[in-house]
Amino acid sequence: MGTIRERGEKLFSGELSPREHHPLQPTGESEEVADGVVFFRWLGNFTAVKTADGLVLIDTGAYFNQRGTIEMVRRHWPDRVNTAIYTHGHVDHASGAPALAARFPDARFLKMPWPERDSRWPAAWEGLVDGTAIAAGDDTLVTVHTPGHAPDHLCFWHEASRTLFCGDLAVKGTTVYIPPNLGGDLTAYLASLERVLALRPARLLPAHGPVIDDPETVLRGYLEHRREREEQVLDALRRGDRSADAMVTRIYRSLEDTLVPIARESVLAHLLKLEREGRAGRREEAWHIIDP
Ligand SMILES: [Zn+2]
């Protein structure tokens, strides 16, 4: 368990290269997705909304290059930054906040509190809760608490265009990492997917990878994927696997070594969900199935 936590901590504190983590490489492109709204494809995408009062930025994380966000914003718009909003406290989302705060001391920094994580990125954080309305010029973004990938995870909903700034809730072409040892919770994630589906978004702007124009397909695909994975975990338990490691070997064939800890966390996320539902149990870390 120690190595999972260690690797996960490194991943989300920035000591591991994002190239080891994200299958989708940043392109450096920017796309004007609406009038005055620019979506930057980068080490963690971010969005800039141009308003009369300055820029509103959504996620400005920059891994090792914390000044990079500022340079990119200045290249496009030299305006001042009014507000920076964050979907969650992982390094690739929130680590750019201190550099931004130093450059724009009047800017506001908003996210849902996750105190142990937020203290790594010092800024004058203001806390968001579910349902907070945030002004972005003439537009309003409403927070939607979507835990699962991280406990503080928020999406930002723009009702008028039915656009959801979805952070790490969804990434086109791959699944989302749910690390129980780092606050991940599969039960919560599945509920978050259902909640977002019920909003009937027309478009998702994720923090990694391209714009998602078919949200329902992607979100339903995720739910189906987790149902299938759960069946595989139940099958492994029935066959006598007692540890997450054994299940990883059975379920993920020919997995690269570097991905094993991530797969182990995913299996553990399923086991904890099954345990909560009374369908699996453990004695001294040896898992077993509980048949109805
Ligand atoms: Zn994340």
Region of 89 on the Ramachandran plot (φ > 0 left; ψ -120 to 50 alpha; else beta) = alpha
Does residue 132 or residue 18 have the better pLDDT?
132
Segment 182-198, tens digit of pLDDT: 899 999 999 999 999 99
Kindly give the distance from the C-alpha atom of residue 168 to the centroid of ligand 1, in angstroms, as a whole number: 5
Report the range of poorest mean pLDDT among 65-79, 117-131, 155-169, 213-227.
65-79
Helix/strand/coil (H, E, C) string of 124-171?
Answer: CEEECCCCCEEEECCEEEEEEECCCCCCCCEEEEECCCCEEEEECCCE
Specify whether domain 215-292 bears CATH 1.10.287.70: no
Kindly give the distance from the C-alpha atom of residue 152 to the centroid of ligand 1, in angstroms, as a whole number: 10
Residue 18 has what pLDDT? 44
CB 63 within 8 A of CB 97: no
> Quick one: which H or E segment has residue 20?
helix 18-21
Q: Per-residue confidence at 16, pLDDT binned at 50, 70, 90?
A: very low
Kindly give the distance from the C-alpha atom of residue 69 to the centroid of ligand 1, in angstroms, as a whole number: 17
Q: Is the dihedral of CA 33, 57, 8, 18 positive or negative?
A: positive
Beta-carbon contacts of 194 under 8 Å, excluding residues fewer than 6 positions away, are: 223
Average pLDDT of the residues in 52-69: 75
| pTM, full prediction | 0.88
Average pLDDT of the residues in 261-283: 96
The third-level CATH classification (topology) of the domain covering 2-213 is: Metallo-beta-lactamase; Chain A (3.60.15)
Residues flanking ion ligand 1, Cβ below 5 Å: 90, 168
Kindly give the distance from the C-alpha atom of residue 112 to the centroid of ligand 1, in angstroms, as a whole number: 14
For the chain, the structural domain boundaries read 2-213, 215-292
